A and B are shown apart, each in its own frame.
Chain A
Amino acid sequence: ETGVTQTPRHLVMGMTNKKSLKCEQHLGHNAMYWYKQSAKKPLELMFVYSLEERVENNSVPSRFSPECPNSSHLFLHLHTLQPEDSALYLCASSQDLGVFGNTIYFGEGSWLTVV
């Protein structure tokens, strides 16, 4: 139990589908993240939220759309993805974005396969 829960754990979707990944953290943290992990580019930072406000969008294509309705929940909405988007998507949280509060707690990840 990591304190960060992701669903679904595995997802197979077609290129025309719309799906969402969900993340919930039970740690009382103020910052949440989406990371993408693939064989070619391990642990790419995608999005950063602090107190429900997006503070960083790391040049991610618009077919990935994050949503943070409150400090405990984070979604990643997926639309018209490409096969190269197949990867492990990791949600994470940290106490805050300060230099001493940025230790990251990862969820177990959502394995996404785009066919």
Chain B
Amino acid sequence: GQQVMQIPQYQHVQEGEDFTTYCNSSTTLSNIQWYKQRPGGHPVFLIQLVKSGEVKKQKRLTFQFGEAKKNSSLHITATQTTDVGTYFCAGPRGSNSGYALNFGKGTSLLVTP
């Protein structure tokens, strides 16, 4: 079945440095979503990408969807301590039961002041 894989698993940066996490799918995706989970919290929806080659920005966060719709990336410019958490990508399972999401294992970001 469809799987999404994320790299790196962990990333430790100094505040002000940039950060990127990558997501790859074994199959073409109808859309891809990104979620953030703060330590001790629950995953919270960030964004959905639908179109091939789509790029969306949210302040310092830039999300990209690959041309083949099989990969995606999240880039954070000039990280801040508030960016700490685990970032998950998720893609629809595309089974007969609808489009419930499969999540990647996440990238845990630690930002040191």
Contacts and interface: CB of A to CB of B under 8 A. Distances in A.
Interface of A: 2, 31, 33, 35, 42-43, 45, 48, 50, 55-56, 90, 96-100, 102-109
Nearest to A91: B42
Interface stretch (B18-26, B58-66, B68-76, B93-101): B93-101
Interface of A, helix, strand, loop or mixed by DSSP:
loop
Interface of B: 30-31, 33, 35, 41-45, 48, 50, 86, 88, 90, 92-93, 95, 97-103, 105-106
Given A43-B106, A103-B33, A48 B42 contact: no
Contacts of B42: 2, 90, 106-109
Nearest to A101: B99
Given A99-B30, A109-B42, A104 B98 contact: no
